[in-house]
Chain A
Amino acid sequence: MSKIKPKVIEVDEIVVKFAGDSGDGMQLSGSQFSDTTAFTGNDLSTFPDFPSEIRAPQGTIAGVSGFQIHIGHKEVTTPGDQADVLVALNPAALKANIAWVKPGATIIVDIDYFDNKGYKKAGFVEDPLNDGSLLGYNVVKAPITSLSRASVRDLGLDIKSAERTRNEFALGILYWLFNKDLKYGEQYIDQRFKSKPVLAVANKKVLRAGYNYAETVEALRTTYQIHPIESRTGRFRNITGNIAAAWGLIAASEKSGRDLFLGSYPITPASEILQELSKRKSLGVKTFQAEDEIGGINSAIGAAFAGDLAATSTSGPGLSLKGEAIGLAVMTELPLVIINVQRAGPATGLPTKPEQSDLLQALYGRNGESPVVVLASSTPANCFFYAFQAAKIALEHMVPVIMLSDGYLANGAELWKVPEMSELPDIHPPMVEDNDEDYQPYGRNPETLARYWALPGQEGLRHRIGGLEKENITGLVSHGPLNHERMVKLREEKVQRVANYVPELELVGEDTGELLVIGWGGTYGALVSAVTDLQEEGKKISLAQFNYIKPLPRNTKKILESFKKIIVVEMNAGQFAFYLRALYQEFNFIQYNKVQGIPFMISELKEKFNQILEG
């Protein structure tokens, strides 16, 4: 076969989806390709989509694991609605993803897996490659498995290990298709298989084999060039929401001078926070893997009493279990950060799928009047900032802070402009000097209402606190009816005053207009894309994306007043709308909700907003 010089098309953005069995290394392929695109200067946003079973039956829809990546020459804010390129390593991967592929897209399949047995397992009646259903797509039938095996034959690997390199073959095709330098992939492989040199060699060989295959096969006569993003300088890296959240806590520890303690229990999709922090002992981080969720948070409360920056990480069902202890932190007025990576519920729900349905639980899911500060991160990278901010607020205001992330942010990655520590604000916890004669356990800073933080071991400050109601100032146990009511109001007021210390909400778009789109947390990427697209079409639409949920930003009411219509968009049945209605009864909040365990698509948002604008 003679080499045909490919045609290079320059594009602004492209969406690629990898899909295969959950044992096929799809998540690995995704991160390898993300790193390469980031190194080559593209903006990117990724979304891993995997089943909760570790290895569901091979070849079935239930076992399909996927990784979507959106690469851009300009800023990209979502992993993309639909794919331009789909890599399907088996028939089930094709069946599960065909609905999310653009018309005319390139579909690369591993033809070695497309046999009668494979079709049946995937639930196809006919051979999908020959029944006409893929007309209009550019289907590349690559013998990925057999060629992968052939290219590592001389390395003496067992069949299983040889076959497991096939994801690199598919990646090699993509490197060629998108004009990416193989050296970045090779570096990634070297790093990944540091302790298994044979596998490093094998994977690199197969990566190159895939690249060479793509160069020679006729079905791929066009390649794509996505130029580096312009006007961006500085230090960059790729980061997922969970790693960013973990790092935000360490940064706050360094800024406050308090060691970081994380008491936690593994739970999908929050476990990476515990895993990452357990690697950071060199920064003084102590992790305590407790016997259960309750143990996780209670150990953190103990650490907070002893003077650490204390945190716990969890997901929805874990937050339910932690409720009583959050109340204890409210009552004892100790600093505590609770990072809740939301997933679809109730009960075990859809453990690996994102949802925003823990909002009301975070706000109200405890006995008694139990106010806490609630924040929500809205991109994978800003999980760093909001975890930092959660810690800063907790430490300076002596209050528990819940930070809401979700499975989509936690596992999704994006390009991050890395800050210097000197750019971050200082943190000043209300510490007490030894032998301070004026110290009283519930004496307060008059501005913030934070009580002062005297630590065991300090001289002249011995005191006792706990879950029983306390008399203000003295901290003595009190069953007095008027004192209790006063303390209830004080605890709420302390939380409300946090609004004086956080920024006002900035709109995306004009300050007034026809339609105000309200979102919070992880829907930011899809909402900002949809809203700016419509703004470019001349529509009078703006976006208010809330990161501060309780207290709400000071200018919230002013924003609500400035638009004719308001729509609240959430991945739940309407919890933020419910909250806003309770606080601002004078406005009409239209709802747009999606509770499918998958993020909003930009196209469906635009359609809905246009409908409201026209209606």
Chain B
Amino acid sequence: MEDQANPSKVAEKVTKADYKVDQPVKWCAGCGSFAILSSVQSALAESGVRKEDVVFVSGIGCSSRFPYYINTYGFHGLHGRAAVIASGMKVANPNLDIWHITGDGDSMAIGGNHFIHLVRRNIDINVLLFNNKIYGLTKGQYSPTTPRGSVTKTSPDGTIENPFKPGELTMGAQGTFFARVVDTEPKRMKEVFLAASKHKGASVVEILQNCVIFNNRIHSEITGKDVRDDHQIFLKHGKPMIFGKNHDKGLVLEKSRLEVVTIGENGITEKDILVHDAHNPDDTTHYMLVRMTLPEYPVATGIIRSVSDTTYDKALQDQVKEAKENSKIKCMDDLLRQNSWIVK
């Protein structure tokens, strides 16, 4: 949970500059990844984690070049496999603060299996999913999150596949943390990244990211300055689900489904509006929130779900500790001598 800071992690003062590399960053000019990188660096400077304990692990794709652009320990893995590479690292050294950088192709297609299992195991890893709804590094083929009907290099007549929503997969895999942010709002990104870092367990942050070359303006209906207040609802735990330029729109539960209402119309007052409970173990409302799409609903951003549960890494550490305390086999010689006999 976001309020569980670990005091043992407090170390010397670290600044954003400590996380910059002297090598050139090679994303396209105008790519959403620059803003994400900057927000991650800011979040790390504030997180209180020792800079040597931070590791960035990635798969393949534009976003996955990320580890080369941030001055921490870093591992650039294979297409789709970073989730398990990161899992192995966390099991080997649970003190590490591991960030798994991935994209919609990397985590939803070739690495889809590893993604759901990482979430299911609730390993304490921060997953930053750069969702630009297109394959960028391979130059413009559709991805598993590309909207149905989109014309791309491999769908000249429009895609005939239904897209995944990363939030739905996270809920389906019993995720304990899911947040969504847009790459145009650095302050909110930083805030959410910090919360993800502090969450004990698998934290999935979907970042709606623009691909300036192959899918420009894909999220502009959500992020555009003129529309964002009406088309986005930034959720905060304990706060009513209100949005809109004039703060007059809200969400209510009507016959087991969410509905958008206007405060002041039809006798609706602020008291009628749902209050966001990110900590509710029951994910029914969280599930409804991640599914909201335009034009019927605003797109939900912010921390949608954040609940506490045992992590895989902690549970394994506990089992190892218990075995070490209770087993008669304390060293390899003890094991070798088991069921043996001596011939003289």
Q: Are the C-beta atoms of A457 and B95 separated by less than 8 Å?
A: yes
B73 within 8 Å of A by Cβ? Answer: yes
A476 to B336, CA, bound (A): 45
Q: Are the C-beta atoms of A237 and B333 separated by less than 8 Å?
A: no
Q: Are the C-beta atoms of A464 and B67 separated by less than 8 Å?
A: yes
Interface of A, helix, strand, loop or mixed by DSSP:
mixed
Residues of A within 8 A of B57 (CB): 302
Q: Known interface pairs A456-B89, A462-B51. Does A418 touch B96 (Cβ–Cβ under 8 Å)? A: no
Residues of B within 8 A of A259 (CB): 92
Q: Known interface pairs A250-B332, A261-B91, A467-B77. Does A456 touch B55 (Cβ–Cβ under 8 Å)? A: yes
Task: Give the interface residue-count category, chain B.
Answer: 35 or more
Of B138-146, B161-169, B317-325, the one with at least 4 CB within 8 A of chain A: B317-325
Residues of A within 8 A of B319 (CB): 281
Q: Are the C-beta atoms of A298 and B84 separated by less than 8 Å?
A: yes
Residues of A within 8 A of B96 (CB): 306, 456-457
Residues of B within 8 A of A457 (CB): 52-53, 73, 93, 95-96
Q: Known interface pairs A237-B340, A459-B52. Does A286 touch B329 (Cβ–Cβ under 8 Å)? A: no
Produce 1/0 per residue, B234-276, CB < 8 A to A: 0000000000000000000000000000000000000000000
Residues of A within 8 A of B95 (CB): 457
- Shortest beta-carbon distance from B12 to chain A in Å: 11
B35 within 8 Å of A by Cβ? Answer: no
- Shortest beta-carbon distance from B65 to chain A in Å: 9
Q: Known interface pairs A250-B332, A251-B332, A477-B68. Does A466 touch B74 (Cβ–Cβ under 8 Å)? A: yes
Q: Are the C-beta atoms of A233 and B343 separated by less than 8 Å?
A: yes
A247 to B333, CA, bound (A): 11
Produce 1/0 per residue, B49-84, CB < 8 A to A: 001110111101000000110011111111001001
- Shortest beta-carbon distance from B119 to chain A in Å: 11
Among residues of A, the one whose C-beta sits closest to the C-beta of B115 is A291
Q: List residues 287-344 of chain B with CB under 8 A from any CB of chain A.
A: 316, 319-320, 322-324, 326-327, 329-333, 335-344
B87 within 8 Å of A by Cβ? Answer: yes
- Shortest beta-carbon distance from A208 to chain B in Å: 23
A298 to B76, CA, bound (A): 12
Residues of B within 8 A of A130 (CB): none
B217 within 8 Å of A by Cβ? Answer: no
Q: List residues 90-117 of chain B with CB under 8 A from any CB of chain A.
A: 90-93, 95-96, 113-114, 117
Q: Are the C-beta atoms of B344 and A299 separated by less than 8 Å?
A: no
Could you tell me which B residues sit within 8 Å of A by CB distance?
Answer: 23, 51-53, 55-58, 60, 67-68, 71-78, 81, 84-93, 95-96, 113-114, 117, 316, 319-320, 322-324, 326-327, 329-333, 335-344
A235-B337, A304-B88 given. 14 additional CB < 8 A pairs?
A228-B343, A235-B342, A247-B335, A263-B84, A282-B324, A298-B88, A301-B88, A302-B84, A303-B89, A303-B91, A305-B89, A306-B55, A456-B96, A476-B23
Could you tell me which A residues sit within 8 Å of B by CB distance?
Answer: 39, 41, 228, 232-238, 247, 250-251, 254, 259, 261, 263, 280-284, 286, 288, 290-292, 294-295, 298-308, 310, 324-325, 328, 332, 418-421, 455-468, 476-477
